[in-house]
Chains A and B, each alone.
Chain A
């Protein structure tokens, strides 16, 4: 027992293994920290900043913050809940999110986080960006309106599928998802229905055609159980940490 290292999360001890970040150790120990771009199967990315915590007085993203013995981490404070609330509002204002008509309603992490954090309105002026959909592929629809730029599809396509079907272009508020084809159309890429990149979108950008609404709204993942509970189920238990990936494009 003496060689297990721990840090404090909201005053309670959380064990960790060397190399784990705060969120990895917290989820493995059954402690939820709200997050969006973090995915247990991928190297932490640190872009959405929803998992921001206060560690020894300084704010940091829990997904990229290395766990250290004795670190005092605050997560469930009014200040941090307010910051997360505002970040989720910003994502709603940045894209075009019409939950009631979205095929992913009830399966969407952004929507579920909105409920988790009590987000009732976007709170800011909507940007209403013009983002045409890509319906070129016979089996897959890309609806960029809902993209939150978490890069999970980019990472999955490069690291797991070894195809790099997806990438990012532009900068600042003009940053956007692109596909790997001179025509700019998904139909002209190497994408296949079995690709990992099609399974990781936390929102409703990547949709399979002709299978929509198979499960009625009201009976979907987050309709049945809040994200706080489901996130813990999908997190790996035990202290294994994903290894570094030198080929990750951004922020790696």
Chain B
């Protein structure tokens, strides 16, 4: 055991800021982090044991208890459910004789759910020991069950099981461009660092991760922020590939198909802000992309596009390391991502100060989305003016959309900003549309009367999720799924989000169970006001959005669930007697509570 641990720590030179990476590697090889292993890692890295235990307890994919030699996790986004994930999960549990959420008696297997794995266009998705599998079906689940029962190592499973499609349906500026590696860097070097930043500012590029902050402003603030005077200090460029918003999968495709463009953009950013070190923070669900990404990085180093004196420019040094996430949506928030990069629990920081002045290791840090870096590379090549010429006045350029749900052609669509929802629905082959969730659970839910609205910062801002629901779907169930997502992903730092998201999920379950009343709807609105006013970060601020949006537009889906318009307890008195009835074998009228007159 110590050999495995020493090797993992050795790969990261016993650097305590890499503890999440070390734990993830140990987990991958040993299946879990045993108590003695945890103590040893803490001791060797010079960290308090409890702090390392707290890190393990924070991330969904790290386990302080044994979880089965095969760990099967079904993606639990609403789109996976619409594609039949629940029935497949039950079928696999029956085949393997295992209870959902529990490890089998022989320690062979566990089956459970996880937050959206980003395979919505080819779902249901699942992860087996962290490896992504798409297009789950009766036959494929049957085959997976057989492979597990035969104890076949994952490496011997048919490669076809692990094939993931890109499903690019519409190309524009970014997806259509395949510049020669290094071209954007050379263009930026020819222009100079200052002029390159000027081009990015002139382009009016705004962040593609959802918040839409002006990229040029962010870069300029980072460039102008002083470096804290410590050994090995530097500015940092971080690519946020922690694509956790349910229904979003564009960054997966960009990294699979256009990794060079992403790294090109990061290198251009490094030149513009004066950074010497970069990180790609890749969500754990995309672990399967790691080897190809590392190969791309190695190829770029060999070609002089990373490392020292990049493109022959003396003193332009920059390199990129990949950090894998371990199952925590909140790490998509930039300051939580930085905490995670530093090997801590992914808790959003108090701001100010912001990452541009005090980011990774308290140094000036630029954090941008994968797509933003691709756009930056494009701008370095073609100039800010030509970028700004595309899109709308306040939304320059194009947007990648991850289209999923009820449509014939789910996948990746790149449109100039300003495209209407109607055009997208037509292109993807959606009929009888009831609703579209734009931007994922934290975005906006619109109904069929609003499909002439436009995708742009002026109207419907979006990080890229576009989930289509036809008239057969129950929009209450969509909102209930999202409420559970937020409760599961709340980091727990602040009171309103930690307790409030759990209460929201409870309230939705109460309505689902037929015990709801007007009182519960009022409570949901009260919780929303509280979360919006007091939550620590965007997760809490937006946690009520899906409920309020669907309530406003699909009120009957809620009201038909109300048992009365007055208060109704969640506790079912007659239901509580069910066990007694079963034990006594009675089911006559006298064994039931009389209905109130």
**Chain A residue contacts of B503, Cβ below 8 A:** 90, 93, 124-125
Contact B48–A180 (Cβ < 8 Å): yes
Contact B494–A179 (Cβ < 8 Å): no
Contact A169–B502 (Cβ < 8 Å): no
**Chain A residue contacts of B345, Cβ below 8 A:** 168, 171, 249-250
Instruction: Give B106-139 as 1s and 0s: 1 = Cβ < 8 Å from A's Cβ atoms.
Output: 0000000000000000000000000000000000
Complex CA gap A51/B206 in Å reads: 34
Complex CA gap A251/B48 in Å reads: 18
Q: Name the contact of A173 in the complex, choosing from B35, B487, B526, B570 (C-beta under 8 A).
A: B487
Contact B494–A47 (Cβ < 8 Å): yes
List B199-228 residues whose CB lies under 8 Å from chain A.
none
Contact B499–A49 (Cβ < 8 Å): no
**Chain A residue contacts of B491, Cβ below 8 A:** 171-172
Contact B54–A168 (Cβ < 8 Å): yes
Q: Name the contact of B50 in the complex, choosing from A61, A91, A166, A172 (C-beta under 8 A).
A: A166
Instruction: Give B338-366 as 1s and 0s: 1 = Cβ < 8 Å from A's Cβ atoms.
Output: 00000011011110100000000010000
Complex CA gap A64/B506 in Å reads: 31
**Chain B residue contacts of A148, Cβ below 8 A:** 495
Contact B350–A171 (Cβ < 8 Å): no
**Chain B residue contacts of A168, Cβ below 8 A:** 54, 57, 345
Question: How many Å from the CB of B346 to the closest CB on chain A?
Answer: 9
Complex CA gap A166/B57 in Å reads: 14
List B265-303 residues whose CB lies under 8 Å from chain A.
none
A47-B494, A166-B50, A169-B56 given; A64·B350 CB < 8 A: yes
Contact B54–A125 (Cβ < 8 Å): no
Binds A, one of B453-461, B529-537, B575-583: B529-537
Contact A249–B534 (Cβ < 8 Å): no
Instruction: Give B471-508 as 1s and 0s: 1 = Cβ < 8 Å from A's Cβ atoms.
Output: 00000000000000001111111111011111100100
Contact A49–B51 (Cβ < 8 Å): no
A125-B570, A149-B498 given; A182·B536 CB < 8 A: no
Q: Name the contact of A167 in the complex, choosing from B50, B349, B493, B570 (C-beta under 8 A).
A: B50
Complex CA gap A66/B36 in Å reads: 43
**Chain A residue contacts of B494, Cβ below 8 A:** 46-49
**Chain B residue contacts of A46, Cβ below 8 A:** 350, 494, 536
Q: Name the contact of B534 in the complex, choosing from A52, A91, A124, A165 (C-beta under 8 A).
A: A52
A178 close to chain B: CB less than 8 A: yes
Instruction: Give A182-207 as 1s and 0s: 1 = Cβ < 8 Å from B's Cβ atoms.
Output: 10000000000000000000000000
The closest CB in chain B to the CB of A88 belongs to: B495
The closest CB in chain A to the CB of B535 belongs to: A49
List B25-44 residues whose CB lies under 8 Å from chain A.
35-36, 38-39
A125, A163, A172, A175, most chain B CB atoms within 10 A: A172
Complex CA gap A171/B324 in Å reads: 19
**Chain B residue contacts of A50, Cβ below 8 A:** 495
The closest CB in chain A to the CB of B571 belongs to: A125
A164-B51, A167-B53 given; A90·B496 CB < 8 A: yes
B93 close to chain A: CB less than 8 A: no
A170-B58, A178-B54, A182-B35 given; A252·B492 CB < 8 A: no
Question: How many Å from the CB of A75 to the closest CB on chain B?
Answer: 13
Question: How many Å from the CB of B23 to the closest CB on chain A?
Answer: 13
Contact A179–B50 (Cβ < 8 Å): yes
B49 close to chain A: CB less than 8 A: yes
A241 close to chain B: CB less than 8 A: no
User: Mostly helix, strand, loop or mixed at chain B's interface?
Assistant: helix
Contact A173–B498 (Cβ < 8 Å): yes
Complex CA gap A172/B115 in Å reads: 14
Instruction: Give A40-75 as 1s and 0s: 1 = Cβ < 8 Å from B's Cβ atoms.
Output: 000010111110100000010100101000000000
Contact A90–B533 (Cβ < 8 Å): no
Complex CA gap A206/B466 in Å reads: 49
A29 close to chain B: CB less than 8 A: no
The closest CB in chain B to the CB of A87 belongs to: B495
B144 close to chain A: CB less than 8 A: no
Question: How many Å from the CB of A79 to the closest CB on chain B?
Answer: 8
**Chain A residue contacts of B496, Cβ below 8 A:** 49, 87, 90
The closest CB in chain A to the CB of B489 belongs to: A172
Q: Name the contact of A87 in the complex, choosing from B39, B54, B490, B534 (C-beta under 8 A).
A: B534
**Chain B residue contacts of A61, Cβ below 8 A:** 534
**Chain A residue contacts of B570, Cβ below 8 A:** 125
Complex CA gap A158/B48 in Å reads: 9
B328 close to chain A: CB less than 8 A: yes
A90-B499, A252-B350 given; A172·B530 CB < 8 A: no
Contact A181–B349 (Cβ < 8 Å): no
A90-B495, A90-B499 given; A251·B536 CB < 8 A: yes
**Chain B residue contacts of A44, Cβ below 8 A:** 350
A59-B534, A125-B570, A251-B348 given; A175·B48 CB < 8 A: no
A170-B492, A173-B487, A174-B492 given; A164·B502 CB < 8 A: no
Complex CA gap A94/B350 in Å reads: 24
Contact B493–A180 (Cβ < 8 Å): no
Contact A171–B490 (Cβ < 8 Å): yes
Contact A164–B57 (Cβ < 8 Å): no
The closest CB in chain A to the CB of B344 belongs to: A249
Contact A181–B49 (Cβ < 8 Å): yes
The closest CB in chain A to the CB of B35 belongs to: A182
**Chain A residue contacts of B50, Cβ below 8 A:** 164-167, 169, 178-181
Instruction: Give A76-119 as 1s and 0s: 1 = Cβ < 8 Å from B's Cβ atoms.
Output: 00000001001100110110000000000000000000000000
Contact A91–B499 (Cβ < 8 Å): yes
Complex CA gap A209/B506 in Å reads: 38
Q: Name the contact of A246 in the complex, choosing from B58, B350, B362, B493 (C-beta under 8 A).
A: B362
Instruction: Give A201-221 as 1s and 0s: 1 = Cβ < 8 Å from B's Cβ atoms.
Output: 000000000000000000000
**Chain A residue contacts of B500, Cβ below 8 A:** 90
A127 close to chain B: CB less than 8 A: yes
Q: Name the contact of A182 in the complex, choosing from B49, B347, B349 (C-beta under 8 A).
A: B49
Question: How many Å from the CB of B333 to the closest CB on chain A?
Answer: 12
Complex CA gap A127/B506 in Å reads: 10
Complex CA gap A66/B353 in Å reads: 10
Complex CA gap A252/B506 in Å reads: 31
Contact B536–A47 (Cβ < 8 Å): yes
Complex CA gap A124/B506 in Å reads: 11
Contact A249–B51 (Cβ < 8 Å): yes
The closest CB in chain A to the CB of B496 belongs to: A49
Contact B57–A171 (Cβ < 8 Å): yes
Q: Name the contact of B506 in the complex, choosing from A125, A174, A250 (C-beta under 8 A).
A: A125
Complex CA gap A165/B362 in Å reads: 26
Contact A250–B493 (Cβ < 8 Å): yes
Complex CA gap A105/B50 in Å reads: 30
Instruction: Give B81-110 as 1s and 0s: 1 = Cβ < 8 Å from A's Cβ atoms.
Output: 000000000000000000000000000000
Q: Name the contact of B498 in the complex, choosing from A167, A172, A181 (C-beta under 8 A).
A: A172
The closest CB in chain B to the CB of A36 belongs to: B495
Given contacts A48-B494, A182-B35, A249-B54, 7 further A-B contacts (CB under 8 A): A46-B494, A87-B534, A164-B51, A165-B50, A173-B490, A173-B501, A178-B53
Top 10 A-B pairs ranked by shortest CB distance? Answer: A169-B57, A175-B492, A167-B50, A164-B48, A180-B50, A173-B502, A172-B490, A90-B499, A49-B534, A169-B54
Q: Give 29 CB contacts A-B under 8 Å.
A: A46-B350, A47-B536, A50-B495, A66-B352, A83-B529, A83-B530, A86-B530, A87-B495, A90-B496, A91-B495, A124-B503, A125-B503, A149-B495, A163-B48, A165-B50, A167-B53, A168-B54, A170-B492, A172-B492, A173-B490, A173-B492, A174-B492, A175-B492, A179-B50, A182-B35, A246-B362, A250-B344, A250-B345, A250-B347
